């Protein structure tokens, strides 16, 4: 049974499945070509479709923001390279909201045989057997999958949330903390839960202006908000 007939979605913590592919920016060897960088690998159902067009305009308009976070964007669909090129050229002629003359400079993978989509479980028969759902994989600099989001074909992605989640992952790695619900950069973070009764008692008895606890298992560190 093939990967497409029985797709196995990679799990958080797995190594990102490797592949070589043709893209609108030349051939790539994934994830080897992106060593030491974060990557947002995302699929879309088809070229020349309205929702996908708004998404690509949004991703392209945010490319510099992601690059500043040491993050590269890589798109994929089951359409041909020539279809990709024609569609991306058309996008430059469109205007939507405050976006116009948008040039998509990140690679868009050709996946006619659905080989990459199969590796990542992007084609889900309950939605379509010929189109990839809107998948988002955030992959860390070690090539490990850290976040997975799936959207149905009809629903455009929330790009603010994708960036927020990336920032939260980077914060967790940098400072060995967790981030609470709706966390934004500058918000308080959660420190690791006390591993012993002694540490739990000490945290509760000796709270400071920089660290406070709601209970022994739930302690926060105050962050300095950007001015």
**When comparing pLDDT for 5 and 212, which is higher?**
212
Alpha helix segments (H runs only) across 5-110: 50-61, 63-68, 81-91
Residue 5 has pLDDT above 60, yes or no: no
Percent of the chain with pLDDT over 90: 66
User: Cβ contacts of residue 67 below 8 Å, gap of 6+?
Assistant: none
Q: Over the stretch 19-66, which tens digit does the pLDDT of each residue have?
A: 999 999 999 999 999 999 999 999 888 899 999 999 999 999 999 999
Please report which helix (H) or strand (E) contains residue 200, including its range: helix 197-205
d(Cα 97, Cα 172) in Å, to the nearest integer? 34
Burial of 169 (0-12, 13-18, 19+ CB in 10 A): middle
Q: Is 134 annotated as a binding residue?
A: yes
| Residue 197 bears catalytic tag | no
Q: Which of 52, 197, 213, 219 is catalytic?
A: 52
Domains and CATH numbers, the chain: 19-157 (3.40.30.10), 176-227 (3.30.1020.10)
d(Cα 33, Cα 11) in Å, to the nearest integer? 21
Alpha helix segments (H runs only) across 46-188: 50-61, 63-68, 81-91, 115-119, 159-175
Distance of CA 140 to the CA centre of its chain: 10
pLDDT band at 88 (very low <50, low <70, confident <90, very high): very high
């Amino acid at each position: 049974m093939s990967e497409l007939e029985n797709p196995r979605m990679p799990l958080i913590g797995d190594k990102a499945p490797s592949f070589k592919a043709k893209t609108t920016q030349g051939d790539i060897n994934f994830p080897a070509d992106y060593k030491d960088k974060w990557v947002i690998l995302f699929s879309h159902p088809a070229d020349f479709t309205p929702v996908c067009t708004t998404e690509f305009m949004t991703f392209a308009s945010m490319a510099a923001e992601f690059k500043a976070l040491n993050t590269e964007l890589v798109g994929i669909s089951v359409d041909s390279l020539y279809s990709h090129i024609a569609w991306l050229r058309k996008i430059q002629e469109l205007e939507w909201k405050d976006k116009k003359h948008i040039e998509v400079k990140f690679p868009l993978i050709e996946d006619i045989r659905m080989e990459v989509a199969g590796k990542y479980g992007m084609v889900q028969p309950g939605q379509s057997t010929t189109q990839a759902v809107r998948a988002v994989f955030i992959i860390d600099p070690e090539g490990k999958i850290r976040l997975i989001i799936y959207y149905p074909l009809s629903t455009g992605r929330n790009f603010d949330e994708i960036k927020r989640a990336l920032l939260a992952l980077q914060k967790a790695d940098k400072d060995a903390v967790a981030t609470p619900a709706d966390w934004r950069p500058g918000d308080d973070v959660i420190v690791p839960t006390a591993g012993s009764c002694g540490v739990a008692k000490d945290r509760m008895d000796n709270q400071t202006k920089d660290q406070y606890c709601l209970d022994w298992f739930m302690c926060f560190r105050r962050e300095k908000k950007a001015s």
